[in-house]
Amino acid sequence: MTPAQQPATDVICQIAAGELPAETVLRTDDIVAFLDHRPVFKGHVLVCPLPHVDQLTDLPAERIPVLFGAVQRVAAALPEALGCQGTFVAINNVVSQSIPHLHVHVVPRTKGDGLRGFFWPRVKYAEGEAQAYAKLIREALTVLE
């Protein structure tokens, strides 16, 4: 299904179909990348797969290099284009995912820009807790192989 044939059920699909305007910075048959309309910093880009995919865990494995190749290109272009020192790259899956369409945030960063680490408070593991969490995750990864 081409992006034009994809039902325009979310904002990203509507942008892909040309039904909503966006400041597109990169478009191929596989992805669309455009400026976030509510940026963390000016130049904040969303890189999205075409056709529609809800979240990262739904993206077919063979499409991962295409999406992240585009993310890498955008991340390399921002310092050149904007004079920023680097980028912050992030994906939300379900929680805090305001649009039900996979999108990768590529945010320009410069030392002293005011963004402190991640956007949420940090926690510490209690004694032995990190090992227990790691064990649970290793077991789940084994099941998913």
> How would residue 6 be classed by pLDDT, with cut points 50, 70 and 90?
very low
What pLDDT sits at residue 89? Answer: 95
Question: Is the confidence at residue 4, as pLDDT, over 50?
Answer: no
Structural domain boundaries in the chain: 11-117
pLDDT of residue 45: 93
d(CA 66, CA 84): 25
Q: Are 91 and 44 in contact (CB under 8 A)?
A: no
- 103 is a catalytic site residue: yes
Select which of 44, 52, 101, 103 is catalytic: 103
Q: Is the domain covering 11-117 a CATH 3.30.428.10 domain?
A: yes
pTM score over 0.85: no
**% of the chain with per-residue pLDDT over 70:** 88
DSSP class of 105: E
The rounded distance, in Å, linking the Cα atoms of 25 and 80 is: 14
